[in-house]
Amino acid sequence: MADEHDDPTSPVSTALIHHAYRAPVEWDAIPVGVHKASTVFFPNVKALRERRWIDKSAYTYGLKGTPTSFTLEARLAVLEGAEHVMLVPSGLAAITLVDLALLKTGDELLLPDNVYGPSLSLAQHELARWGISHRFYDPLDAASLAQSITPATKLVWLEAAGSVTMEFPDLRGLIRTARALAPQARIAIDHTWGAGLAFNPFRLGEPGVDADDFGVDIAVHALTKFPSGGGDVLMGSVACRDVALHHHLSWTHSRLGYGVGADDVSAVLRGLPTIELRYRAQDLAARRIAAWAQTRPEFVRVLHPALPASPGHAHWAALCTQAAGLVTVAFDPAIASARVDAFVDALRLFRIGWSWAGPVSLVAPYDPATLRKRSSDYRGTLVRLCIGLENVDDLIADLTQALGALG
């Protein structure tokens, strides 16, 4: 019978745990190795005391980075046109990190009126409890941004395009205004839609100013979308060019205990080589669907930055040739929202769900009244279509048959 003095192990356990074999380090293949660890060993106490994770020159603990995460960060810096990138557990966590790192009690942040909903919710319900207030500006009107700026403004968020209503702001005009009137503020962009491919927010170019010196301070990216591309990962990144700012953000990252799983990092590394091809394919498909939607009497508006009638089209055209594979249709207000719901329910290839940039096309209805704080010039139920990688003719056939369900 076993008692407490029984040792369930034999020397085999020790030998297995402390096995002397070391595989040859020379290994070269397409996939980046998946390094998993909480603890990282130090060869001696001196190394434990002296190793620095902040400049990524060494490994100290799983949360502070592994060869796998450092590699993804370096590759994302290329995609983002940035010098420094850090990984966080989701796109929303990236937004949270920026807010918490840069704001304190008494500060104010400015949000575009079409901001990604959870970013607004964060400001309303969490930041407000810490005495951090927020104001909204019309993303299509730099004068409205100017009016919102106060001496307390410490952070200005930009988003291009708006993730449901697709307005494309005059990024240069907004940045010019913020730099002139709020020199004390940092400027951050939610760069998920552009994905590092449609435009470079760090180098926007400005007449008379070196392109290298005109852009945002920080770009956050929901890697959950295009970089992953598989619909199987939640991750975000925070990119910047300035090393002091990066270190400041890195300390907040460290104190918050943000970590990402190595398997997820590996999945994003696998997605990156095809991101440009997928972005382009979904862009072309969305434009065909937008053109088709314009021919349908059920829709009073089709929102996609490449369409001349879409809000901010000229700003998009001045900066980009590409667009993400998202298109929003506004149903005729005479069509009750319950009938629009029946249309959405009738879709077969488009699946009902949030997010975008995976292989499966997604659909979600929105009530325009809930999307704006300042104004709403949208009428009729909005339905956002996120185009996947299916055949476009099949998708149009699906949309056509579902319109039959409107009754």
Ligand X SMILES: Cc1ncc(COP(=O)(O)O)c(C=O)c1O
The secondary structure element, H or E, covering residue 118 is helix 117-125
Between 143 and 352, name the residue whose CB sits nearer to ligand X: 352
Specify the length of the chain in residues: 407
Q: Give min distance, CB of 123 to ligand X, in A.
A: 14
Separation of alpha carbons 396 and 398, rounded Å: 5
Three-state DSSP state, 159: strand
Candidates 84-92, 210-218, 379-387, 394-402: pick the segment binding ligand X (CB under 6 A).
Answer: 84-92
Separation of alpha carbons 288 and 282, rounded Å: 10
Between 59 and 310, name the residue whose CB sits nearer to ligand X: 310
> Which candidate, 180, 184, 164, 163, places its Cα nearest to that of 172?
180
Q: Give min distance, CB of 72 to ligand X, in A.
A: 15
Using CB under 6 A as the binding rule, the residues of this chain from 108 to 127 that contact ligand X are 116
Between 91 and 215, name the residue whose CB sits nearer to ligand X: 91
The binding track of 351-370 with respect to ligand X, each residue x by CB under 6 A or -, is ---xx---------------
Q: Tally the C-alpha atoms within 13 A of residue 357's C-alpha that lie toward its C-beta.
A: 30
The vertex-160 CA angle with 385 and 298, nearest 5°, equals 30
Using CB under 6 A as the binding rule, the residues of this chain from 128 to 157 that contact ligand X are none
| Type of residue numbered 323 | A
Query: Which of 236, 305, 311, 388 forms a contact with ligand X (CB under 6 A)?
Result: 236
Kindly report the backbone phi and psi dihedral angles of residue 302, in degrees, each rounded to the nearest multiple of 5, phi listed first: -120, 125
Residues 6+ apart with CB under 8 A from 365: 337, 340, 341, 344, 381, 382, 383, 384
Q: Give min distance, CB of 97 to ligand X, in A.
A: 12
Three-state DSSP state, 331: strand
Using CB under 6 A as the binding rule, the residues of this chain from 215 to 234 that contact ligand X are 222, 224, 234
341-356 core/surface letters (b: 16 or more CB in 10 A; e: else): ebbbebbebbeeeebb
Task: Check residue 66 for interaction with ligand X (CB under 6 A).
Answer: no
Separation of alpha carbons 290 and 288, rounded Å: 5
What 3 state SS string does 96-107 have?
HHHHHHHCCCCC
Q: Give min distance, CB of 361 to ligand X, in A.
A: 15
Q: Give min distance, CB of 332 to ligand X, in A.
A: 27
Query: Which of 82, 87, 92, 329 forms a contact with ligand X (CB under 6 A)?
Result: 92
Could you tell me how many residues of this chain bind ligand X (CB under 6 A)?
Answer: 13
Three-state DSSP state, 20: coil
Q: Give min distance, CB of 125 to ligand X, in A.
A: 16
Residue the block writes with tokens 């949309």: 399
- Structure tokens given for 238: 């925070």
Using CB under 6 A as the binding rule, the residues of this chain from 171 to 200 that contact ligand X are 190, 192
Closest residue to bound ligand X by CB: 91
Candidates 90-98, 181-189, 205-213, 342-350: pick the segment binding ligand X (CB under 6 A).
Answer: 90-98
Separation of alpha carbons 382 and 146, rounded Å: 30
Candidates 88-96, 138-146, 246-254, 319-327: pick the segment binding ligand X (CB under 6 A).
Answer: 88-96
Q: Give min distance, CB of 77 to ligand X, in A.
A: 19
Query: Which of 66, 68, 90, 282 forms a contact with ligand X (CB under 6 A)?
Result: 90
Task: Check residue 328 for interaction with ligand X (CB under 6 A).
Answer: no
Please say whether the beta carbons of 45 and 65 come within 8 A: no
Q: Give min distance, CB of 365 to ligand X, in A.
A: 16
Candidates 49-57, 87-95, 126-134, 198-206: pick the segment binding ligand X (CB under 6 A).
Answer: 87-95
Between 89 and 402, name the residue whose CB sits nearer to ligand X: 89
Task: Check residue 163 for interaction with ligand X (CB under 6 A).
Answer: yes
Candidates 7-15, 86-94, 101-109, 141-149: pick the segment binding ligand X (CB under 6 A).
Answer: 86-94
Please say whether the beta carbons of 175 and 204 come within 8 A: yes
Positions that interact with ligand X (CB under 6 A): 90-92, 116, 163, 190, 192, 222, 224, 234, 236, 354-355
